Amino acid sequence: MPGFRLASLMTAAAVAASLPLCAATAQESVPFRTRNLNPLVSIHGMPTWEIPGASREFGLTSELANHYRLSRRGEQTLLLDGETWRTSFHYSMPVGDRWTVGFELPVYHQSGGILDDLIDGWHTTFDLPDGGRNNREDQELLFQMGDGDGVFYHLDERDHGLGGVRLRVGRSFGADNGFHANLSVKLPTGKESVLAGSGSADWATTLLRTRQASFRSRAAGYFWGFGAIRPGAAKQIAFDAERQVFFGTLGGGLALTPRLGVRVQLDAHTPFYDTPLEEIGQTSVQLALGGWWRTGERSVIEFAVNEDLHASTAPDVVMHVGLRWSL
């Protein structure tokens, strides 16, 4: 239901813009709440980069990721043709001076999508390779995986379901409170048949450094971070899983006006699976380009487009919108 999806995003943005205008967080050094939405990666509890705040915060993040990959290595096969729409609701609250607790609840919708025509037009206009996209009809959905024992996963009808609930505890420290440590667990609550969860619990820890700066009299900032996740077994996926996955981020932002700014973010992670399939067996690198619009002292909208820098290890394109309110 493409129209419903676009209408939902527009309605959410309008609501955010109408909210009342607590002290503003410096958006130049706040990472995007984005992750790799490769369907075999996003079932695990890869956390976003969190900054424990001094007030309660509620947020909504919606991302639309387009996939097209067909790969075979020996007896292992992988076909991803479709779109993942992931919308997550998150809430956090302070506990004491520097501690916070929070949770995230995602919802997944797998479908043929709406971005195929746009991506085909982009490839045609700039004479770019389409990776075999024209071998299948637009707006089709087929996620299929197999090994020497045959096909072990097949999805060709759009479906939706709740993802794994993620619980988090975090603490800020350092002379400027610019270091942020978080420990999180993703619970096995996701709907496995629609690749909204792995069916197992995943533990993750992160350390994020944020710093404010200035550039030609404009407010600026940067951030870097690294983390590790111990993923549980993915019950729908027969490919061998890695026991430990490491990931990191690097980025920064610049305020163009007191309410509007731009941001760039580079994210990478090691493979989640021990397989010769490039899409899930190699290190992934993803770039997010976008910015933010502060609609008031309590409300912020962020927006970005994600591109896979290591081709095929992340979705071809991801449209990202995030809304946050301080309560």
* Res. 327: pLDDT tops 90: no
Residue 124's pLDDT is 55
Per-residue pLDDT at 132: 56
Nearest CA to 68 out of 9, 146, 123 is that of 123
pLDDT of residue 32: 97
Q: pLDDT per residue over 205-253, tens digit each? A: 999 999 999 999 999 999 999 999 999 999 999 999 999 999 999 999 9
How do residues 90-116 score in pLDDT, each as one tens digit?
Answer: 999 999 888 999 999 999 999 997 776
pLDDT at 11 (0 to 100)? 42
Identity at 123, one-letter amino acid code: H
Q: Provide the whole-model pTM.
A: 0.87
pLDDT of residue 52: 81
Give the residue, 116 or 32, on which the prediction is more confident.
32
User: Where do we find the tokens 């520097």?
Assistant: 98
Residue 168, pLDDT > 90, answer yes
Q: What share of residues in the chain are helix, strand, coil (percent, to 5)?
A: 15, 50, 35
- Report, as an integer, the average pLDDT of 291-311: 94
The mean pLDDT value of the chain amounts to: 88
185 contacts 45 by C-beta, under 8 angstroms:
yes
> What structural domains and CATH numbers belong to the chain?
2-326 (2.40.160.40)
Give the per-residue pLDDT at 277. Answer: 97
Nearest to 198 by CA among 148, 151, 142, 242: 242
pLDDT at residue 137, rounded to an integer: 67
